Structure 1
């Protein structure tokens, strides 16, 4: 079991350089899919082993912590690794036809190599128990992400990638400064070791400064309001396969890091005394309203979904800022639920882009009637985003409302309800334009409106879309796995 954890890092690390050297786009795609499937299988097996609250520990090179690097896997690590590898499989399946359409042929092997390195970085962040090693994996995933965003044929992607690079570098620098300060105070980089000895150095000013720097750096990486400005352009201008993968994983893994810092690295009472929960709760509530309103204003589907992510991240921030069992459970469940919803919706947007060469809602009028199966799956995912009963979105909002009522936070209850109402508005914009508005009789970016070819989306794309849509319903009705994993993780984080 212990050796399996390191395979999640070793396999993509070994396969990525090989992938970059293979000229065949189909072989590179197949290698990437195999890596993602193996990662999913290992993550699922590990989650099954630790969901009862047990741990799996792997010491790299046989060096015992705190001197050596330690991988310590509990239900939270394994749950996040499952999200990353599962979404990687969906994105890869979707990318079989999308990548050749949106990426220059000569750069496709490099694209898939960068995709594997991004997967490697995100899995490494989830598994490591060493905060400097975490920074290393954070940079691996970030550098791969910058490259992935910039590889699209759309020249605006370069501007989006450059903006993300600048802000991402600032975030990583802040985090590294915080790690440096904490190391100067504690003399250790191992999370468990620092937590165990925290009382011996907690009075040092460096410790509080380190927390501020680390939280600011990771909040920027997680696109927590108001540090979200890089996200709309990055998601909307990136190639569709990249949008699917990043929208569902990158910010979720950053929030996972924030949870580890606040609940594992530092004692809860330490940052509660700093009024951090009140600050984060306020920002989360504003993010829900602001992100939903800005999403409603958009006329382009991918950009609409990007602003929706700002709001959904707000729900997660609200959850862990309530600092109770139900709230933290809701936040962790939403890491999983939102990943499913947003991956499915971006796959839908990618299919529309593939067939019509645009995701401008005004140019997609009536297209849903020509693509009924694609439209149906997008609608199901949209209902999940709103939080309709029977979908994964409802599960999160129900637990969040319970947690807010338990704490007497009625402003949070009002915010969640208002956010859901606004979500109805921007999801309806998509549904209305795709189905209820009359078809355009003009050309849609060189494709005739109503052309029979529009209705024939590639099977791999439609399969990926319906897998996502089906999972949105399945985990909305059968919440046992997600709730058990999230509840186990929340209980472990809340233990002193």
Structure 2
């Protein structure tokens, strides 16, 4: 049955479609192909999520060799959650893309843009699906190379320097990661994640393993833009095409955080990560710094895309704060905030794309009075802004509630105060945008501005509605996040019996 091959199909389909998009040479056919392929993937991810809902693990091996010798794709509730998140948001983003890409990218480069998008999507899905440490590196490089292209295609010449900076930082991060994997392989003789988890306790106190842990953590921290390793992110998000900004903000850092969780809890184990290594105080300090410093910087930005970029660094701080708390509620808050932030930030960047299309600017001064000219867009922007603040009835409240409960369970009421302070900073910079948009007199630039086109509005409104829906009905997002947290806290990964594994 074809369903047996879903773990590989979700990665291979966009990868095979990418060269076809390039061969089509024209933007519209390449866009249609990208939409068709992208919308298949969330349904595959849902099927995988349903199959792992009861704690089951899907093991799919390749090449005729069983794991741990052969390459294994391994899907559990956490990886299925990330696969659905990445594929679902990406499908909405590429549906939105046609009008925005046509306005921002020359016709000769549009097919290349969609080809790079499909390659990047395949790489991100591959990182979430694979159970092989070196395969993660391969998919990491695939997604990174595509991301450099997506950023460099921005209209502003500064997009090239932003892409180059990301290339340098991304290469350093990948190098750190692969050095760590090399040291682990030298000590254990395996690259299979579940097999690594079983063999590491025998050598975990050795210096090479301690060094490997450090290399992997630093490498992944660069990829997820953990403060202060975030220097590539603001310009990358600010100067990429609108679709590229939304795609990267909603997916790229989320997959890197997933990998960090996987290595902390699934491979090295919580006892090693939090007791043998002084990880918790370091991660806690960096998370608090990200929440406060990045929020303060966002407060003084004039370019709204840069403001949202710094906001992303602060929101990543909320996620890593939950990882540092490391109890059931803290991890649930971290995992559900992955989902919530992807939905919120994807919507906000897409809404800014509509503003850029009509106004040809995303600077605050130029947006004075735009709320009356683009009421649907700015109302959706306000809803998403409230969700990012953590207003009750929105997704942001759900994740911050879990984080606060996790901190309170440990008696760390000062962390609850930090969460509230971070939310107040978020309210301050989002209120600044809304005050200018709705309460300031309109500028002359707004004379001919109208609402964003319907093909761009519909996907953004779906995401904006999701910020309310999943804030009220938390069974899917918070429910699966709780199950994923339980999986993480249950101990290191264990191999799946060969008789239950599938593959070729």
Task: Work out whether the TM-score is over 0.5.
Answer: yes
Q: Which residue of 2 aligns with 1:307?
A: 310
Residue pairs, 1:91-490, within 5 angstroms: 91-273=93-275, 274-441=277-444, 444=445, 449-451=446-448, 454-490=449-485
Deviation at 1:225, TM superposition (A): 0.5
Residue-by-residue CA offset, 1:332-374 (whole Å, 9 max, x unaligned) = 0011000000001101111110000000010110011011111
Residue-by-residue CA offset, 1:210-234 (whole Å, 9 max, x unaligned) = 0000000000110000101111000
Deviation at 1:290, TM superposition (A): 0.9
1:58 alignment partner, SS class: strand
Q: Which residue of 1 aligns with 2:54?
A: 52
Is the 1:218–1:258 Cα contact (8 Å) retained in structure 2? Answer: yes
Which stretch of structure 1 is more off in the superposition, 136-145 or 478-487? 478-487
Is the 2:376–2:451 Cα contact (8 Å) retained in structure 1? Answer: no
2:126 alignment partner, SS class: helix
Is the 1:367–1:450 Cα contact (8 Å) retained in structure 2? Answer: no
1:326 alignment partner, SS class: helix
Is the 2:200–2:268 Cα contact (8 Å) retained in structure 1? Answer: yes
Is the 2:375–2:451 Cα contact (8 Å) retained in structure 1? Answer: no
2:63 alignment partner, SS class: helix
* Cα distance in 1 for residues equivalent to 2:51 and 2:66: 23
* Cα distance in 2 for residues equivalent to 1:386 and 1:103: 33
Q: Kindly report the root-mean-square deviation, in angstroms, between the aligned alpha carbons of the 2 structures.
A: 0.9
Is 1:73 paired with 2:90? no
Runs of 4+ residues deviating >2 angstroms: none
1:197 alignment partner, SS class: helix
TM-score normalised by structure 2 residue count: 0.96
* Cα distance in 2 for residues equivalent to 1:179 and 1:197: 14
Is the 1:295–1:426 Cα contact (8 Å) retained in structure 2? Answer: yes
* Cα distance in 1 for residues equivalent to 2:4 and 2:66: 14
Deviation at 1:199, TM superposition (A): 2.1
Deviation at 1:2, TM superposition (A): 3.2
Deviation at 1:455, TM superposition (A): 1.6
Is the 2:174–2:219 Cα contact (8 Å) retained in structure 1? Answer: yes
* Cα distance in 2 for residues equivalent to 1:225 and 1:152: 25
1:389 alignment partner, SS class: coil
Instruction: Please list every run of 5 or more consecutive structure 2 residues that lacks an aligned counterpart in the other structure.
Output: 492-504
Deviation at 1:23, TM superposition (A): 2.3
Is the 1:55–1:72 Cα contact (8 Å) retained in structure 2? Answer: yes
Deviation at 1:456, TM superposition (A): 3.3
* Cα distance in 2 for residues equivalent to 1:419 and 1:407: 20
Give the aligned length.
Answer: 488
Residue-by-residue CA offset, 1:100-124 (whole Å, 9 max, x unaligned) = 1111110111110000000000000
2:442 alignment partner, SS class: coil
1:455 alignment partner, SS class: coil
2:476 alignment partner, SS class: helix
Is the 1:122–1:141 Cα contact (8 Å) retained in structure 2? Answer: yes
2:74 alignment partner, SS class: strand
Is 1:37 paired with 2:39? yes
Deviation at 1:476, TM superposition (A): 0.4
Q: Which residue of 1 aligns with 2:498?
A: none
1:112 alignment partner, SS class: helix
Is the 2:265–2:273 Cα contact (8 Å) retained in structure 1? Answer: no
Deviation at 1:450, TM superposition (A): 2.6
Residue-by-residue CA offset, 1:404-455 (whole Å, 9 max, x unaligned) = 00011122111100001111100001101111111113xx3xxxx232xx22
TM-score normalised by structure 1 residue count: 0.97
Q: Which residue of 2 aligns with 1:492?
A: 487
Is the 2:45–2:87 Cα contact (8 Å) retained in structure 1? Answer: yes
* Cα distance in 2 for residues equivalent to 1:421 and 1:199: 43
Is the 1:104–1:153 Cα contact (8 Å) retained in structure 2? Answer: no
Is the 1:2–1:56 Cα contact (8 Å) retained in structure 2? Answer: no
* Cα distance in 1 for residues equivalent to 2:414 and 2:190: 41
